[in-house]
Chains A and B, each alone.
Chain A
Amino acid sequence: MPASSNRSTTTDAPPRTGRVRRLHLPQKLRNLELFLLLIACGINAASVVLVQLGALGRIDTTLVFLGAGLSALVLAMHVVLRVVAREADPFILPIATLLNGLGIAMIYRIDLANGESGWASASVRQTVWSALAIGCAIAVILIIRNHRVLFRYTYIAGFVGVALLLLPLVPGLGREVSGARVWIGVGSFATFQPGEIAKIALAVFFAGYLVRNRDSLSMVGKKFLGMRFPRLRDLGPILVVWALSMSVIIFQRDLGTALLYFGLFLVMLYLATGRLSWVLLGMSLFLGGALIASQTLDYVNGRFRNWLDALNPDVYGADGGSYQLVQGLFGLAKGGLLGTGLGQGRPEITPVPQSDYIIASLGEELGLAGVFAILALYLLLVARGFRIGFAGNDDFGKLLGVGLSFVIALQCFIVIGGVTRVIPLTGLTTPFLAAGGSSLVANWIIVALLLRLSDTVRNQPRLVV
């Protein structure tokens, strides 16, 4: 003992005990996070100021103060991470902060164009929702110290997910906004899209369920065309999720949400079983359902027509036609490579420029350069989530991490792809950017879970990532 303690005090190299290394590493990560956070907050503040200079020609301090409050809250979350998740991924929080802030700046810009201000304006509400969402994220980080806890609640999560999804169909509680019945509201205020929260619950459920049942889903079944197809009795889960998605299409009239959940389920199913046959089966089920829906449901049919023939004057002028889509394209075209500059475009011409079409608004004022930057941020965020999947060593955590990240990627693809005519346009919010409280809360909870998962992964002594 004396010899060893002698040696440790006399060598110049830092002592290599596990305890000291654990103290050293998180500081590095958290310092990096703090540095990036400060940059993100700086960009956000600059965007708001630029919006004011562009649209008002002067600086108005109200929203700057609100933004400073948000920055303080995000920094508080950073401090919480220093204590309870020291080895969490340092990129996730700054990216979410930056996207959230850019969204607020653009929503504020549209408020200015529409002459709205004060507590009724979308930007102030978005700021308050952001504060609430970050609060939720901090709570999740503090409460869930180990993600395996969630594994215990697999079926409860599943039940909660389905219940939330179906909640808007309850008479008296559900609200219909622009044709889609995906909202709930009490009285005339506090409308909420429970489906946004449902995606987290469902991701937990899928992860838990698949980890428990992957063997029966992947091992047995007949081989056909070089692929092993599942037994008929194992088709239960995929049929249930499919039926759920179809009911969302039919009763809630929301193509995007259905696509999101079904896509999430398929990807997690594929990850868990490693069998392409599930994906083929699921895709043909969904495409078949969507095809029947496009023939029988007017709104689905209209979406396809708007997508394929947007610039046709008949489609453009029709009720529920491609007017909005084409106006969004006009906005993007106006932005060109470098954009008009914040506060200097006319994003308000496009209907709902602050929610579904926020990417078109940002594209108009920040140009292709700005859109590329935003897409890069999303891609980076998703990539950080996927790292959890690659590096993790418990299947539940891997599945959950990848599932939650994939939900963000798929949601971006559905919305932005819809706006830019890659796929038919369906109503979904752009994660973090678009106006909408439920979406913010859900996405910040995802951030909290990803942070928790990444912390767990790095804490595993066998793997260094």
Chain B
Amino acid sequence: MNRELKRVSIVVLLMFVALLASTTIVQVFQADSLSADARNTRTLYDSYSVERGPILVAGQPIAQSMPAGDEYKFQRTYSNGPLYAPVTGFIPLNGAPTGLEHALNGVLSGTSDAQFFDKMNALITGQNPTGASVEVTIDPVAQQAAWDALGDLTGSVVVSEPATGRILAMVSKPSYDPNLLTVHDNQQVTDNYQALLNDENDPLISRATKTLNPPGSVFKLVVMTAALESGKFTPDSTFPNPATYQLPGSSAIVINSGGGTCGGGDTVTLATALRLSCNIPMAELGLQLGNEAIRDTAEKFGFNTDYSVPLDVSQSVYPTVLDDAQTALSAFGQTDVRATALQMAMVSSAIANGGQLMTPNLVDKVTAPDLSPIQVFEPEAMERVMSAETAATLTQMMVNGVQDGAASNATIDGVKVAGKTGTAENAEDEPYTLWFTGFAPAEDPKYAITVLVEDGGGLGQTGYGNLLAAPIAKDVLEAVLNK
């Protein structure tokens, strides 16, 4: 019987080995994926039970966890919620977090690998783990000025520091109050979320990083960069100056905004074309450059690329396949060219920074609860888009546009502002998208600003960039320059 007994013993041993293996697989190898499962309410409760780190603007919390005294232990509260909503996002009671709450969830909740020793320490001492605090690059003055200047318009203002890529203001309107989504009542959170979701103005979607609009004339900066960098064109290069222009291989007609020729004369220089924001010379230029050259430059600026700041930013698009007519249209930011406000801010920033594009960034540093730094974000070069020479030339062209051209409403007394407006067509009967992008002071750029006004600024197809977007930029620039 003992021979059989040995075999049965081996079977029993194998049964237990199977159990040891299966528990190891579940508790170690699958643990992360199981914890990340959206249906895992334990993870959710945990995310509330830890004292989540605050998100700080100039040392003041814009999001913080306060003791709650219920099963969730902590209540996430957002001070000045709507103002900072596009930055913070929110961590809802019954869903996935958004914004920085999502992008930096690991450090905020204290579960990132960088906090491993803190976790072990908390385990041994029995203290509750505490999340790290996140200091963002936002300048409260710039943010508030941008919020005020945008008024009731639908759109976004992005202010950044050209030399570092730090984002100083990121406003999106209409906004929402993230506090509505962190109340400790499941049903109420669901109701509030549904209401925001059903709101036809889409308050939950950040106009700074998520919505894609045709850039219109602000895209002329990209095309002009391509032209100057090609070495074949200078600001003084001339183009024929008709009042209407038929697109090659198409019956469609291009006109300059406001109709007529671009300035006077039979020919027009590129400098004048950009200053007055004329479409026909740009269309002609675009055809001569070809869409590959424009796409190459656009991609250096960040088009057709995914990046995060660390908020995920929608990919701005310069289409990959274009015929001649579309190439001509793309040269003034129409056809299927699309950009986020942040993308256009990167265009101005690169020009302002002597052609060197810095990685856009929203976070300065992450600090552990014991004040030791976990992560410090240093300025990082992203791409050299153009030579310093080209950047200087473009800057002068943009200054002329503000001083004596299509962007005149951005003029500030005593400060040289460089800027470019845009008035982009959407579908046939839809309101225009209005833009301004630029920087100041032009000789030593400290602030780059992009204003996006959607929905025609309420004026349908009668509003234009200089009328609505440029004054907003002026107000914000004045506020930050006078700081």
Residue ranges of A at the interface with B (Cβ–Cβ < 8 Å): 267, 270-272, 274, 311, 316, 326, 329-338, 341, 345-346, 349, 363, 367-368, 371-372, 375, 378-379, 382-383, 386, 389-390, 395, 398-399, 402, 406, 409-410, 412-413, 416-417, 420-422
User: Given the complex, which residues of A lie within 8 Å of B16, measured CB to CB?
Assistant: 375, 378-379, 409, 412-413
**Known pairs A311-B37, A409-B12, A422-B22; A270 contacts B4 (CB<8 A):** yes
Whether the pair B19, A267 counts as a contact (CB closer than 8 A) is no
Whether the pair A271, B35 counts as a contact (CB closer than 8 A) is no
Whether the pair A270, B8 counts as a contact (CB closer than 8 A) is yes
* Distance in angstroms between the alpha carbons of A398 and B13 in the assembled complex: 19
Whether the pair B15, A413 counts as a contact (CB closer than 8 A) is yes
Given A270-B7, A371-B27, 9 further pairs, Cβ under 8 A: A274-B4, A333-B27, A333-B35, A336-B27, A389-B2, A406-B12, A409-B12, A413-B19, A417-B15
A-B contact pairs, 22 of them (CB 8 A): A311-B37, A316-B39, A332-B31, A332-B34, A334-B40, A335-B27, A345-B42, A346-B42, A375-B16, A375-B19, A379-B16, A382-B12, A398-B1, A398-B5, A406-B8, A409-B15, A409-B16, A410-B15, A412-B15, A412-B16, A413-B16, A420-B23
In the complex, which of the residues A371, A378, A379, A398 contacts B23, with contact meaning CB atoms closer than 8 Å? A371
**Known pairs A274-B1, A349-B42; A417 contacts B22 (CB<8 A):** yes
User: Given the complex, which residues of B lie within 8 Å of A422, measured CB to CB?
Assistant: 18-19, 22
User: Given the complex, which residues of A lie within 8 Å of B11, measured CB to CB?
Assistant: 267
Whether the pair A274, B3 counts as a contact (CB closer than 8 A) is yes
CB-based A-B contact count at 8 angstroms: 129
* Distance in angstroms between the alpha carbons of A41 and B52 in the assembled complex: 40
* Distance in angstroms between the alpha carbons of A329 and B22 in the assembled complex: 11
**B193 close to A (CB within 8 Å):** no
Closest to B35 in A: A333
User: Given the complex, which residues of B lie within 8 Å of A395, measured CB to CB?
Assistant: 1
B473 to chain A: closest CB distance in Å? 48
Closest to A350 in B: B42
Closest to B120 in A: A338
**B244 close to A (CB within 8 Å):** no
**Known pairs A316-B39, A346-B42, A402-B8; A368 contacts B18 (CB<8 A):** no
User: Given the complex, which residues of A lie within 8 Å of B4, measured CB to CB?
Assistant: 270-271, 274
* Distance in angstroms between the alpha carbons of A402 and B5 in the assembled complex: 8
Whether the pair A329, B26 counts as a contact (CB closer than 8 A) is yes
* Distance in angstroms between the alpha carbons of A326 and B42 in the assembled complex: 12
**B187 close to A (CB within 8 Å):** no
Closest to B31 in A: A333
A145 to chain B: closest CB distance in Å? 25
Whether the pair B20, A389 counts as a contact (CB closer than 8 A) is no
Whether the pair A332, B15 counts as a contact (CB closer than 8 A) is no
User: Given the complex, which residues of B lie within 8 Å of A399, measured CB to CB?
Assistant: 1
Q: Which of B23, B32, B123 has the most CB of A within 10 A?
A: B23
Residue ranges of B at the interface with A (Cβ–Cβ < 8 Å): 1-5, 7-9, 11-13, 15-16, 18-20, 22-28, 30-32, 34-35, 37, 39-43, 45-46, 123, 126
Whether the pair B45, A333 counts as a contact (CB closer than 8 A) is no
A45 to chain B: closest CB distance in Å? 19
* Distance in angstroms between the alpha carbons of A284 and B22 in the assembled complex: 25
Whether the pair A334, B42 counts as a contact (CB closer than 8 A) is yes
* Distance in angstroms between the alpha carbons of A241 and B468 in the assembled complex: 88
Whether the pair A331, B42 counts as a contact (CB closer than 8 A) is yes
* Distance in angstroms between the alpha carbons of A316 and B38 in the assembled complex: 12
* Distance in angstroms between the alpha carbons of A390 and B18 in the assembled complex: 24
**Known pairs A274-B3, A331-B42, A398-B1; A336 contacts B9 (CB<8 A):** no
User: Given the complex, which residues of A lie within 8 Å of B18, measured CB to CB?
Assistant: 413, 417, 422
In the complex, which of the residues A349, A386, A412, A413 contacts B5, with contact meaning CB atoms closer than 8 Å? A386
Whether the pair A372, B42 counts as a contact (CB closer than 8 A) is no
* Distance in angstroms between the alpha carbons of A368 and B12 in the assembled complex: 20
The 6 A-B pairs of least Cβ separation, nearest first, read A333-B34, A420-B22, A333-B31, A368-B27, A413-B15, A330-B40
User: Given the complex, which residues of B lie within 8 Å of A382, measured CB to CB?
Assistant: 12
User: Given the complex, which residues of A lie within 8 Å of B1, measured CB to CB?
Assistant: 271-272, 274, 389, 395, 398-399
B329 to chain A: closest CB distance in Å? 45
Whether the pair A372, B3 counts as a contact (CB closer than 8 A) is no
User: Given the complex, which residues of A lie within 8 Å of B37, measured CB to CB?
Assistant: 311, 326, 330
B377 to chain A: closest CB distance in Å? 31
In the complex, which of the residues A331, A333, A371, A386 contacts B30, with contact meaning CB atoms closer than 8 Å? A333
A260 to chain B: closest CB distance in Å? 13
Closest to B32 in A: A333
**Known pairs A390-B2, A417-B19; A329 contacts B34 (CB<8 A):** yes
Closest to B8 in A: A267
Whether the pair A330, B42 counts as a contact (CB closer than 8 A) is yes
User: Given the complex, which residues of A lie within 8 Å of B40, measured CB to CB?
Assistant: 330, 333-334
User: Given the complex, which residues of B lie within 8 Å of A417, measured CB to CB?
Assistant: 15, 18-19, 22
Closest to B5 in A: A389
* Distance in angstroms between the alpha carbons of A272 and B30 in the assembled complex: 42
Closest to A336 in B: B31
User: Given the complex, which residues of A lie within 8 Å of B2, measured CB to CB?
Assistant: 389-390
Whether the pair A271, B8 counts as a contact (CB closer than 8 A) is yes
* Distance in angstroms between the alpha carbons of A326 and B40 in the assembled complex: 9
* Distance in angstroms between the alpha carbons of A331 and B43 in the assembled complex: 10
